[in-house]
């Protein structure tokens, strides 16, 4: 059952030096109890996409398209209706746990604020109970409710953020690079927490990351983004074992894998196109080893192959 | 017999703890943070030693104190048969052409108002190598080598006009232009995207071979270390807990911490089912270090005796050393 | 508990600060040109008289002794005697101070209200009309000379419209019967005399608004830039993502986090005003410390000047302690 669906999402930023088309025509969905990984390098638009779902982008961002949740397009919701949705139906955790908590507010007040925002009449004992349960479920002692954020390490803060994210039992959790600024051992612990949640809380997770290893480990399906576009969308097995898009193929070959001895690393020459000034045709053409004539003339559409999607002229029949 | 380029013995770096001034005046014993404690290792010509650990392990402090960017508290550091610990200012300045460091953020290590050509030429001027004419020639040649082509165009560019990967290649060029014997790379690829990271890793590997460099590769990423290094040392809270040849370390990790670190690395393969060893809690604060084995508060195999051991590295044969006397 | 410990250390720490100020004031006044005795007796005074006077005032002793004597006097609240009125300086200062304090207080209220609300609102509406208005306002008002702006207000509201009095603290015979604090608005209320209170407020409006508006320009800019900074923080986005209302996001998260640097500047400004609302006081003939200083400088009344400086130094110290304590109360990272 589809829980959240993004259809033809377009995001443009108006800046002093012109318009940046940060996300173009992104479409994907996530089912109940499923984890969708959105993977890509910096500047590919993956975080922008995640924030756009909750309408948390800065005012200079123009969002177009649909985000369908519970049968309606939440991009059309009024601000108040959107506010009621945030934290209750869809919640988000961010890349940098060091700055995600208000430094001058006790942990408990973060929980109280969340609960009261959705139930102004909530009683203190009741809220404490909810907060304690949420904290304990991610491995943080409820005794620490009265502490301030600076008394926690990065990993513990991220656990607190996750606890905040799941307190009201939302049906979608967006995790935006939740472990990027953490050490591997802590990353492993946090990923464990996220995996448990998916099973125990009946929740969809949208995991945004640049780490192909993390996606392989926890996701059921994956979206690969490049320069603001979804270039490949498939279930994880197919994505890793039989990648279709040249970018995905090369990306997988450039990640060192500790399980392979004497691995020969590849890299992708060149760099990302300027999003203010996108050249005609395929956005990956300047770095692609399989480039053809048509690639610089026409932008490739999404081609559907079985259950998968790929944006590349190689698959034009 | 291949020579050791770098020999570090009993390196210590203690930082005084910041306290309110009143307590500083009143307390007799000044508390310290033992960021690096009694570290010894050596690196041979053409060899890369990986120094791997989490944040707070002290790996960055090691990298900076062995080239005296910060002053070590005690210990001996021999680079190219010179003990650099005793060098005075001018001698140290001259010795610096033998060892260079590459930092994590290339943007921060390049002067934004200087063309990259000038930036790379600068060390030649400082150490009085070549003439103004030959210097530019040297820089251009090196630019070709690190694949900044067309090199004449790149010479006049500013750092902001380059991509992250290109900038890091400039920094590498600057590091090797004085023909050093030893290079410290402090998380040099951590900020780069995967598709570019491997290019920089490969460049470092090639440079190491061509110049027969000794390399200290400091990283939190075991996978990158595996790709570049002949040997790897694993650090935890200021101590080396295990050191071994790369393949040996990956095939027979001995110390519980090494095992945990290895099992935590995500593998880009959905079919790979890894054996999970999850440690307890998080790295303790270095101001409040556990007695005995520093890892015992998180070790899944902890015993009572661990409170008393002193973390000496024991040889398990073939240069494989581990600081855990119990775990087999 | 931690807060109390912080307050205690903060107070202890301000002792050396005050000592340093006292020392600087002492030595600077000693090396300044101009002989206080000649200033007092006139340039034609006979040398014997000058010597006798020097001896009487202790000025013939070694400078270190003079310094220690000066410190011991200040410790017991002896700020010296005015050479102009022959009254104890402290007594004079205490008499003039409430007027200045009252003016400063109300000007600060005006400035802080404008600063916080316009600044926060501008930051929240970054780039929109309100923001443009706030930026233009602060540049415009910043360039107002205080005395010119004061005269303009006097002209409009005093001379043309006759709504408000243009000078002084009170109308004749409108002084509170019993003086408790020396602050007329408060004393009038304590006396229960509403008529006097209204009169005091009427006299306060023009000078307080003049000064308040001029200072508000700095506050608007400070608040705007600091709130902008905290609005762009991750914790603000995170608060929004929890479904927190915009009002709470703005005031509870963005503004509160922006407060410590703002409060520091406000505190400094407050202290500065206590010492130097000279132009405003002279424009509105306000009988405060500013007017007092102007008179005494023209008479070379060195003990009075020195006393006034020391007096202000204490206030700066007290206010900066207060600001630090409030900041520590807002931000737990400071007090731990």
Q: Please write the tens of the pLDDT for every residue from A210-258.
A: 999 999 999 999 999 999 999 999 999 999 999 999 999 999 998 888 8
**pLDDT for res C3:** 80
| Residues of chain B with C-beta less than 8 angstroms from the C-beta of A265 | 198, 201-202, 227
**pLDDT for res B289:** 84
For residue B322, pLDDT over 60 is answered with yes
- For residue C325, the tally of other CB atoms under 10 A from its CB is 17
**pLDDT for res A17:** 82
C209-221 pLDDT tens trace = 998 999 999 999 9
pLDDT category at B310 given cuts 50, 70, 90 is confident
Residue C245 contacts A, CB cutoff 8 Å: yes
Close Cβ partners of C182 (under 8 Å, ≥ 6 residues apart): C94, C95, C97, C98, C99, C101, C102
**pLDDT for res C39:** 67
| Residues of chain B with C-beta less than 8 angstroms from the C-beta of A252 | 268
Percent of chain B with pLDDT over 70: 95
Residue B266 contacts C, CB cutoff 8 Å: no
**pLDDT for res B29:** 67
**Nearest residue, CB atoms, C234 vs list A84, A96, A110:** A96
Q: Does the distance separating the beta carbons of B54 and A185 come in below 8 Å?
A: yes
Output the six-digit token pair for A105. 């507010």
**pLDDT for res B28:** 61
For residue C261, pLDDT over 80 is answered with yes
pLDDT category at C335 given cuts 50, 70, 90 is confident
**Nearest residue, CB atoms, A213 vs list B198, B226, B267:** B267
What mean pLDDT is predicted for residues B18-42? 75
| Residues of chain A with C-beta less than 8 angstroms from the C-beta of C245 | 83, 117
Q: Does the distance separating the beta carbons of C240 and A114 come in below 8 Å?
A: no
Q: Does the distance separating the beta carbons of B201 and A263 come in below 8 Å?
A: no
Burial class (CB in 10 A: 0-12, 13-18, 19+), B131: exposed
For residue C59, pLDDT over 80 is answered with no
State the residue for tokens 């923080």: C233
What mean pLDDT is predicted for residues C288-301? 83
Give me the helices (H) in chain C, please: 2-31, 36-41, 47-57, 63-75, 89-124, 129-142, 146-153, 184-191, 194-231, 234-241, 246-248, 256-276, 278-283, 289-298, 302-330, 332-335
Which residue is closest to A271 within chain B, CA to CA? B163
**pLDDT for res B26:** 64
Domain boundaries, chain A: 2-89+170-315, 98-169
| C residues 6-45 lying closer than 8 A (beta carbon) to B | 9, 12
Region for B57 from its dihedrals, namely left if φ exceeds 0, alpha if ψ lies in -120 to 50, beta otherwise: alpha
- DSSP secondary structure, C228-244, as one string: HHHHTSHHHHHHHHTT-
**Nearest residue, CB atoms, C233 vs list A88, A92, A99:** A99
pLDDT category at B21 given cuts 50, 70, 90 is low
Chain A contact partners (≥3 CB pairs within 8 A): B, C
Strand partners, B134: none
Superfamily for the B4-229 domain: P-loop containing nucleotide triphosphate hydrolases (3.40.50.300)
Give me the CATH code for the A2-89+170-315 domain, please.
Answer: 3.40.50.300
A123-150 pLDDT tens trace = 999 999 999 999 988 888 899 999 999 9
User: In whole angstroms, how far apart are CA B327 and each of A58, B248, B255, B258?
Assistant: 53, 17, 7, 12
**pLDDT for res C27:** 82
**pLDDT for res C333:** 83
pLDDT category at C121 given cuts 50, 70, 90 is very high
Q: Does the distance separating the beta carbons of A210 and B266 come in below 8 Å?
A: no
- Work out whether strand B239-245 and strand B321-322 pair parallel, antiparallel, or are unpaired: antiparallel
What mean pLDDT is predicted for residues B241-269? 92
Chain B contact partners (≥3 CB pairs within 8 A): A, C
Output the six-digit token pair for C80. 């010296």
pLDDT category at B181 given cuts 50, 70, 90 is very high
| Lateral strand order in the sheet of B321-322 | B99-102, B182-186, B214-219, B48-52, B231-236, B239-245, B321-322, B314-315
Residue B25 contacts C, CB cutoff 8 Å: no
For residue C336, pLDDT over 80 is answered with no
| Residues of chain A with C-beta less than 8 angstroms from the C-beta of B221 | 184, 256
Query: Residue A199, SS3?
Result: helix
State the residue for tokens 């108002």: B113
Percent of chain C with pLDDT over 90: 25
**pLDDT for res A90:** 95
What distance in Å separates residue B243's CA from the closest CA in chain A? 17
**pLDDT for res A25:** 93
- Of the ranges B159-173, B270-284, C6-20, which one carries the lowest mean pLDDT score? B270-284
Close Cβ partners of C290 (under 8 Å, ≥ 6 residues apart): C100, C276, C277, C278, C279, C280, C281, C282
**pLDDT for res C166:** 79
Which residue is closest to C260 within chain A, CA to CA? A104
Q: Which of B295, B313, B237, B296 is nearest to B34 (CA)?
A: B237
pLDDT category at C191 given cuts 50, 70, 90 is confident
For residue A78, pLDDT over 60 is answered with yes
Q: Which of B268, B242, B227, B244 is nearest to B325 (CA)?
A: B242
Q: Does the distance separating the beta carbons of B269 and A256 come in below 8 Å?
A: no
CATH of C96-335, one of 3.30.300.20, 1.20.1440.130, 3.50.50.100, 1.10.3720.10: 1.10.3720.10
Q: Are C236 and A100 in contact (CB under 8 A)?
A: no
Domain boundaries, chain B: 4-229, 259-328
Q: What is the 3-state secondary structure (H, E, C) of C191-209?
A: HCCHHHHHHHHHHHHHHHH
Please tell me what DSSP assigns to residue A176. Answer: E
Percent of chain A with pLDDT over 70: 100
Q: Taking CB atoms and an 8 Å cut-off, how many pairs form between chains B and C?
A: 3
**pLDDT for res A290:** 93
What mean pLDDT is predicted for residues C18-25? 83
Q: Does the distance separating the beta carbons of A91 and C241 come in below 8 Å?
A: yes
What distance in Å separates residue A45's CA from the closest CA in chain C? 18
Task: Determine the Cα–Cα distance for residues C37 and C83; give it in Å rounded to an integer.
Answer: 9
Considering chain C, what is the average pLDDT of its residues? 85
Task: Determine the Cα–Cα distance for residues C284 and C282; give it in Å rounded to an integer.
Answer: 5
**pLDDT for res C81:** 82
Residue to test with chain C: of B18, B19, B22, B25, most C Cβ within 10 A: B22
For residue A117, pLDDT over 80 is answered with yes
What mean pLDDT is predicted for residues B45-71? 92
What distance in Å separates residue C236's CA from the closest CA in chain A? 8
For residue C1, pLDDT over 60 is answered with no
Q: At what angle are helices B116-126 and B164-176 packed, to 10 degrees? A: 20
Which residue is closest to B20 within chain C, CA to CA? C9
H or E element at residue A3: strand A2-15
What backbone phi and psi angles, to 5 degrees, belong to B54?
-80, 175
pLDDT category at B278 given cuts 50, 70, 90 is confident
Q: Are A148 and A160 in contact (CB under 8 A)?
A: no
Which residue is closest to B19 within chain C, CA to CA? C336
For residue C307, pLDDT over 60 is answered with yes
For residue B93, pLDDT over 70 is answered with yes
Which residue is closest to B298 within chain A, CA to CA? A185
Output the six-digit token pair for A189. 């612990």
A160-196 pLDDT tens trace = 999 999 999 999 999 999 888 788 888 888 888 888 8
Q: Does the distance separating the beta carbons of C244 and A114 come in below 8 Å?
A: yes
Please tell me what DSSP assigns to residue B104. Answer: S
């Amino acid at each position: 059952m589809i829980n959240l669906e993004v259809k033809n999402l377009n995001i443009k930023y108006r800046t002093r030096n012109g318009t940046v088309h940060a996300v173009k025509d992104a479409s994907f969905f996530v089912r109940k109890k499923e984890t969708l990984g959105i993977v890509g390098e910096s500047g590919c638009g993956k975080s922008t996409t995640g924030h756009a779902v909750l309408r948390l982008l800065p005012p200079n961002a123009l969002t177009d398209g649909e985000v369908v949740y519970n049968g309606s397009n939440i991009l059309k919701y009024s601000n108040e209706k959107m506010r009621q949705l945030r934290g209750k139906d869809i919640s988000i955790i961010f890349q940098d746990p060091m700055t995600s908590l208000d430094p001058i507010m006790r942990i408990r007040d973060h929980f109280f604020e969340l609960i009261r925002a959705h139930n102004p009449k909530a009683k203190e004992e009741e809220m404490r109970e909810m907060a304690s349960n949420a904290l304990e479920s991610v491995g943080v002692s409820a005794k620490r409710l009265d502490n301030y954020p600076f008394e926690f390490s990065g990993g513990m803060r991220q656990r607190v953020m996750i606890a905040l994210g799941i307190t009201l039992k939302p049906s979608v959790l967006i995790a935006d690079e939740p472990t990027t600024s953490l050490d591997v051992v802590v990353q492993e612990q946090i990923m464990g927490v996220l995996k448990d949640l998916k099973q125990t809380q009946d929740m969809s997770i949208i995991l945004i990351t640049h780490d192909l290893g993390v996606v392989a480990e926890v996701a059921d399906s994956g979206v690969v983004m490049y320069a603001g576009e979804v270039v490949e969308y498939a279930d994880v097995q197919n994505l890793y074992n039989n990648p279709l898009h040249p970018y995905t193929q090369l990306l997988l070959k450039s990640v060192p894998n500790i399980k392979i001895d004497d691995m020969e690393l590849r890299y992708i020459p060149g760099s990302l196109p300027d999003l203010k000034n996108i050249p005609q045709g395929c956005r990956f053409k300047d770095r692609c080893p399989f480039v053809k004539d048509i690639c610089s003339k026409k932008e490739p559409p999404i081609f559907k192959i079985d259950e998968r999607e790929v944006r590349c002229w190689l698959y034009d029949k | 017999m291949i020579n050791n380029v770098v020999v570090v013995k009993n390196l210590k770096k203690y930082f005084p703890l910041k306290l309110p001034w009143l307590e500083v005046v009143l307390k007799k014993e000044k508390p310290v943070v033992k960021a690096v404690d009694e570290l010894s290792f050596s690196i041979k010509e053409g060899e890369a030693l990986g120094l791997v650990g989490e944040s707070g392990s002290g790996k960055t402090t090691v990298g900076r104190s062995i080239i005296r960017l910060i002053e070590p508290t005690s210990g001996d550091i021999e680079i190219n048969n010179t003990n650099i610990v005793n060098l005075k200012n001018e001698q140290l300045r001259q010795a610096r052409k033998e060892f260079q460091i590459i930092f994590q953020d290339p943007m921060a290590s390049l002067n934004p108002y200087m063309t990259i050509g000038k930036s790379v030429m600068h060390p030649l001027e400082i150490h009085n190598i070549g003439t103004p004419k030959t210097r530019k020639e040297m820089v251009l040649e090196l630019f070709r080598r690190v694949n900044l082509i067309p090199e004449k165009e790149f010479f006049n560019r500013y750092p902001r006009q380059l991509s992250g990967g290109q900038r890091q290649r400039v920094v590498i060029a600057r590091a090797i232009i004085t023909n050093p014997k030893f290079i410290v790379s402090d998380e040099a690829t951590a900020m780069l995207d995967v598709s570019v990271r491997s290019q920089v890793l490969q460049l470092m590997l090639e440079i190491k071979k061509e110049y027969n460099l000794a390399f200290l590769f400091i990283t939190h990423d075991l996978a990158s270390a595996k790709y570049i290094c002949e040997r790897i040392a694993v650090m935890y809270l200021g101590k080396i807990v295990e050191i071994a040849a790369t393949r040996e370390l990956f095939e027979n990790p001995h110390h519980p911490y090494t095992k945990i670190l290895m099992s935590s690395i995500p593998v880009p393969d959905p079919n790979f089912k890894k054996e999970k060893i999850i440690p307890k809690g998080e790295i303790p604060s270095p101001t409040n270090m556990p007695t005995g084995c520093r890892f015992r508060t998180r070790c899944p195999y902890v015993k009572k005796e661990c409170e008393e051991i002193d973390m000496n590295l024991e040889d398990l044969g073939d240069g494989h050393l581990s600081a855990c006397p119990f775990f087999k | 508990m931690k807060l109390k410990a912080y307050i205690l250390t903060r107070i202890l720490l301000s002792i050396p600060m005050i000592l340093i100020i006292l020392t600087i004031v002492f030595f600077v006044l000693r090396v300044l040109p101009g002989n206080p005795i000649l200033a007092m007796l006139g340039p034609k005074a006979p040398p014997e008289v000058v010597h006798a006077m020097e001896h009487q005032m202790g000025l013939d002793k070694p400078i270190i002794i003079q310094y220690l004597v000066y410190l011991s006097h200040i410790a017991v609240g002896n700020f010296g005697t005015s050479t102009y009125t022959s009254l104890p300086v402290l007594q004079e200062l205490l008499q003039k101070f409430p007027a200045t304090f009252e003016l400063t207080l109300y000007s600060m209220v005006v400035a802080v209200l404008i600063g916080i609300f316009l600044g926060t609102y501008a930051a929240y509406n970054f780039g929109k009309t309100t923001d443009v208005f706030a930026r233009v306002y602060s540049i415009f008002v910043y360039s107002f000379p205080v005395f010119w702006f004061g005269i303009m207000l006097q002209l409009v509201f005093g001379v043309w419209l006759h709504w408000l009095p243009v000078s002084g603290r009170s109308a004749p015979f409108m002084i509170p019967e019993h003086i408790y604090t020396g602050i007329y608005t408060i004393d009038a209320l304590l006396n229960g005399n509403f008529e006097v209170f209204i009169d005091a407020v009427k006299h306060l409006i023009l000078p307080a608004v003049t000064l308040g508006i001029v200072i508000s320009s700095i506050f608007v800019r400070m608040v705007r830039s600091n709130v902008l900074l905290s609005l762009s923080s991750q914790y603000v986005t995170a608060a929004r993502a929890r479904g927190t209302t915009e009002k709470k996001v703005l005031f509870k998260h963005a503004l509160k986090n922006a407060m410590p640097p703002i409060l520091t500047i406000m505190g400094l400004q407050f202290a500065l005003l206590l010492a130097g609302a000279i132009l405003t006081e002279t424009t509105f003939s306000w009988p405060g410390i500013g007017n007092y200083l102007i008179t005494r400088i023209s008479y070379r009344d060195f003990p009075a000047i020195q006393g006034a400086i020391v007096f202000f130094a204490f206030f700066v110290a007290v206010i900066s302690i207060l600001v630090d304590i409030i900041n520590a109360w807002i931000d737990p990272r400071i007090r731990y």
